[in-house]
Amino acid sequence: MSDPNEFRAPSPEQLSEILPQFEVEKVIGQGGMGAVYKARQKDGLGRTVAIKVLAPPKEIDDEFNAGARFEREAQAMARMQHLNIVALYDYGQTESGLRYMVMEYVDGGDLHQVIHGGGLTLDHFFGWIPQVCAALQYAHERSLVHRDIKPANILISKEGSVKLVDFGLAKLIGNRANEMAAVTIARKRLGTEDYSAPETGDPDIEEVDHRGDRSDRHCRHHQHHQAKNRAQGIYPVAPGGECNGRACGRRPVLVE
């Protein structure tokens, strides 16, 4: 039985009425607080886009300040123009309170699907990882930390191009920390536990910098190698410190 308080995403037809500048084709992803759609612009360009919507505040339990984080995600994406980062085209809010982002549409899948579908090869690995690193370096050079690097947030186009997505937990650090609105959640661990840097759950550490993304990346590298090795019937022991304890059975160690 569905939760009566759970967000009910608009159908493609309903969203087309709410955002008449788009012809919304289908839902391509949905969660407890929002959904993502494939759509086409009607402005003469005919460009295919992805539209991400967040439920109005009255329809969700906003314990995690989802509205503020959604806005900050848009702010983070608007700061970046990089081949390996999904581009933001527009951001807004309807009269009913529905927040939305219009983004680059990536025709393909995500790395999580590739790994668990058994289609990962070493050629893929060595072709995609440098692209992920290039995207992260670009963001870090602009004092922006992603804080939620995981396979599901790495999109792969049919042509093999990597696109980093989901900057909902992104944070500016250092001298630029005040350029984006702060969103604080007391005593909450953010990100995905299997991939997060260990220090994200340490209440004594006030700020996680770019090394947290590096730790997430090492964890993901290890998972890719393990997926390939399992397919070949090989089960090596993970090198210490390449990922956090939950994902590889080792004690968490941040790699400098």
Residues catalogued as catalytic? 148
Which among 5, 17, 3, 19 is positioned nearest to 52, based on CA atoms?
19
